[in-house]
Structures are given as C-alpha cells and as structure tokens.
Amino acid sequence: MAHEHEQEREFVLEIPEFAHLSYGVEEGVALVTLKRPGALNALSQDLLRELAEVVEVIAQDSEARVAIFTGEGKAFAAGADLKEIAALKDPFMAREYALLGQGVFAEIAALPIPTIAAIHGYALGGGLELALACDLRVASKDARLGLPEVGLGLIPGFGGTQRLPRLIGRGRALDLILTGRHVSAEEALGMGLVNRVGEDALEEAKKLAEKILKNGPVALALAKESVVRGEGLDLSEALEIEADLFGYAAATEDMKEGVRAFLEKRPPHFKGE
C-alpha cells in the first residue's frame, strides 16, 4: 500500500569511475589529481572528457567549497597529447579538438567556487591553459611554465591566446606565446602568472584554500561572479553588477552572522545561507 506522503529521498552524489584522474573532498577542499604520470599528465581526449565529468561532480558536491587541480608524479601537465595532435587529418578535426579543450576549461572557469591550480614541474601548452582556467595559481620552485606551441608549428588552442593576455597583459603574453619559452616559478610570480610560490605547490594551495574557507561561501561565489561578469564591460556597467550582488549578499544570513561575529569578537560560523 502506497504511503500517503512519500518520504523525501536524500540526494546521493554519484561519482563516476575515473581512469585518468582522482577526486576527493576533505574539509571543504575538493582535490582533482591528473593521473597519467608516465606521460607527464599529457591531456589526452579521454582525460579532457574525464575533467568535464569531474567538473559536473564538483558543481553538484555540496561539500566542495574550494577546488584544487594538480598532477601526479613529476609534472602538473606537460601539454596536450602529441600523438593525438599528429593524428589530426584536417582543419575541421583540429578545430573540433580545440573546441573540446576550450569547452572543458570553460566549464572549470565557470565553477561558482574558487579554483586553484597547484603547479609543480612542467605546466606547458594545454597544461598551462588548464592552470589559466583556474582562479588562482600556486607553483613550486621547480615549476616551469610556458606555451611552446609555435615551436611545433601550432598556436595555443585551449584558450591560451585569450586567457593569458587578460591575466598578464598583451605584451608579456606575446613574449611567451611568440618565443614559446619556458619561465621559472619566480619569473611567473613577477609577471602575475602565478599568485604564490613555495616548496610544495599542493601544500601551498591547501594553505591558500584554508584562508579562503574562513570566509562566507555565498560571499565567495558572489565576489567571483562580480569579477567575472564585470570583465570587459564599461566601468559603469560593471559597478551596477557589483551593486546588485552586494545587495544580494547583504540580505543573506551569512552577512548577519559575519557582522555579529565581528562585533562579538569571535570567529564567524557561516552556513552558506
């Protein structure tokens, strides 16, 4: 006999089986690790598709408040898979290949929570473009970053020609893109390509995530949205967006708790409401 009122089912997040990456969440930090160490985590099409899947998981995972992307072994990601690039037969296949990478990285960039790339070893070509899709980048002292595609007779195709100039300026971006040279972590820090440099990129990224996690989750999402939506707009239009989102933030329970905690000289206890 059917119950008059069905009991509400608890949402259970389904995590796919991944062959080329791992995913886990601990204390609010979602960690995505590329796992093709034998190929220096080169971004094959299969790995790109798994990245798209894991982004969907992160977007649905209520426990994930900050996401860190890193690589297993000696490199963050040494670039796209050259065997797959060599197999591209015509401009149409190559265009679809570029659109696949661009689409995946656009999904990473569109995540509402803060994202951090923890870079060690090589972050070249598609690997650097993956890092550029994240909000923040932390590098270990051994990191080497660059877009070397012109040396292969190509151009960056996963967003590098567009995201890099927006991040570090046209002149500096063209320096890297047209020479194809690699830069050290320290030079990358000096040009604003990375935000922090430390002995261990993942540990530094986790420390950065801890600082972010102390703040209100709704405010974090709205702050990121304000920056992203305001890019490329006239200042007056961008300020309108900021005012709207400020108003939204001011109506949240988190804002009331944050102000109350400040006045009471205690740490806030945000609930994301």
Enumerate the active-site residues.
Answer: 129, 149
What's phi and psi for 44, nearest 5 deg?
Answer: -70, 165
Dist. CA 66–CA 169, nearest whole Å: 27
User: Exposed e or buried b for every residue in 240-251, given b needs 16+ CB within 10 A?
Assistant: ebbeebeeebee
Kind plus residue range of the DSSP H or E element containing 37: none
Kind plus residue range of the DSSP H or E element containing 73: none
Dist. CA 55–CA 18, nearest whole Å: 12
Q: Which residues, 6+ apart, have CB-to-CB distance to 119 below 8 Å?
A: 70, 76, 131, 137, 138, 139, 140, 143, 145, 185, 194, 201
